[in-house]
Amino acid sequence: MYNIHANMSLMQLIESWATTENPFNSTDDILTWIKEKNRDVRVDIRKIPYDYTGDNWHYDQERGEIRNRDGSFFQIKGLQKAEDGRILHEQPIIIQNEIGYLGIICKEFDGVLYFLMQAKIEPGNVNKIQISPTIQATKSNFMQVHGGRVPAFLEYFSNKRNYEIIVDQIQSEQSSRFLRKRNRNIIIVVNEEIEVPDTHRWMTLGQIKQLMRYDNLVNMDTRTVISCIPFSLRDFSYKELSHIRMLFHQEPFYNSVFFGNSGSEINKIYQYMNEVKMLDRSEIRLVDLYSLASWKRKMDEISSEHGAFKVVYCDIEIEGREVRRWQQPLLEAEGQSVFGLIYCVEDNLQKFLIQTKSEVGCFDKIEIGPSVQLEPGENPNASLVDALFTYNYEHNRGIEFDGLFSEEGGRFYQEQNRNVIMKIEKGDLPQPLPEGYFWADFQTLNILIQFNNCLNIQLRNLLSVLDI
163 assigned to some structural domain:
no
Tell whether the model's pLDDT for residue 249 goes beyond 80. yes
What angle in degrees, to the nearest 10, is found between the helix axes of 7-17 and 238-247? Answer: 20
Q: Which residues contact 336 (CB under 8 A, 6 or more apart)?
A: 376, 404, 416, 417, 418
Determine contact, residues 47/303, Cβ cutoff 8 Å. no
Is the predicted pLDDT of residue 146 greater than 80, yes or no?
A: no
Is residue 390 predicted with pLDDT exceeding 70?
A: yes
- pLDDT exceeds 80 at position 142: no
For residue 352, is it within any domain?
yes
- In this predicted structure, what is the pLDDT of residue 4? 38
Does 78 reside within a domain?
A: no
294: CB partners within 8 A, 6+ apart: 90, 304, 305, 306, 307
Length of the chain: 468
Among candidates 465, 351, 27, which has minimal Cα distance to 203? 27
Q: Residue 365 belongs to a domain with what CATH number? A: 3.90.79.40
Which DSSP string corresponds to 96-162?
A: ----EEEEEEEEEETTEEEEEEEEEE-TT-TTSEEEE-SEEE-HHHHTTTTS-PPPTTHHHHHTGGG
Distance CA 84, CA 402 (A): 42
Q: Which of 13, 42, 27 is nearest to 131 (CA)?
A: 27
Lowest-confidence pick of 26-35, 38-47, 245-254:
38-47
Q: Identity (one letter) of the amino acid at 8?
A: M
**Alpha carbon distance 417, 246 (integer Å):** 34
What is the C-alpha R_g of the chain? 22
> What's the N-to-C CA distance of the chain in angstroms?
23
Nearest to residue 96, comparing CAs of 316, 329, 300, 319? 329
| DSSP assignment letter at 5 | G
The string of DSSP codes covering 230-296 is -TTSS---HHHHHHHHHH-S-HHHHHHHHS--HHHHHHHHHHHHHHHHHH---EEEEE-GGG-TTEE
pLDDT the model gives residue 5: 43
Amino acid at 194: I
Surface-to-core class of residue 425, CB atoms within 10 Å of its CB (0-12 exposed, 13-18 middle, 19+ buried) = exposed
The answer to whether residue 292 sits within a structural domain is no
Residue 197 DSSP one-character state: P
Rounded to 5°, angle at Cα 145 from 144 and 149: 25
Q: Kindly give, in sequence order, each residue whose CB lies less than 8 Å from that of residue 41, ignoring residues fewer than 6 positions away.
A: 121, 128, 129, 318, 319, 320
Asked, for residue 398, whether it belongs to a domain, the answer is yes
With CA atoms as reference, report the closest residue to 328 among 317, 315, 310. 315
Mean pLDDT of the chain: 93
Helix and strand totals (H; E) in the chain = 12, 24
- Give helix 220-227 / helix 457-465 axis angle, nearest 10°: 80
In a domain, 51, yes or no: no
pLDDT at 147: 55
Residues 451, 1 contacting (CB under 8 angstroms):
no
Number of domains in the chain: 1
* Full residue range of the structural domain in which residue 362 is found: 253-282+336-465
Query: 331 and 407 in contact (C-beta within 8 Å)?
Result: no
Beta-bridge mates of residue 51: none
Higher confidence at residue 269 or residue 55?
269
Percent of the chain with pLDDT over 70: 96
* C-alpha–C-alpha distance, residues 64 and 285, integer Å: 13
Give the pLDDT confidence score for residue 321 in this predicted structure.
Answer: 63
Residue 320 CA to its chain's centroid (Å): 24
Residue 369 lies in a domain: yes
What is the pTM assigned to this prediction? 0.95
Q: How confident is the model at residue 320 (pLDDT cuts 50, 70, 90)?
A: low
pLDDT of residue 233: 87
* pLDDT, tens digit (0-9, with 9 covering 90-100), for 74-106: 999 999 999 999 999 999 999 999 999 999 999
The answer for residues whose C-beta is within 8 angstroms of residue 349's C-beta and 6 or more apart is 252, 255, 256, 259, 260, 441
- On the question of pLDDT at 392 being above 90, the answer is yes
Q: What are the pLDDT digits (tens) for 216-238?
A: 999 999 999 999 999 998 889 99
Domain assignment of residue 97, yes or no? no
Q: How many CB atoms lie within 10 A of CB 169?
A: 23
Residues 6+ apart with CB under 8 A from 15: 111, 112, 113, 247
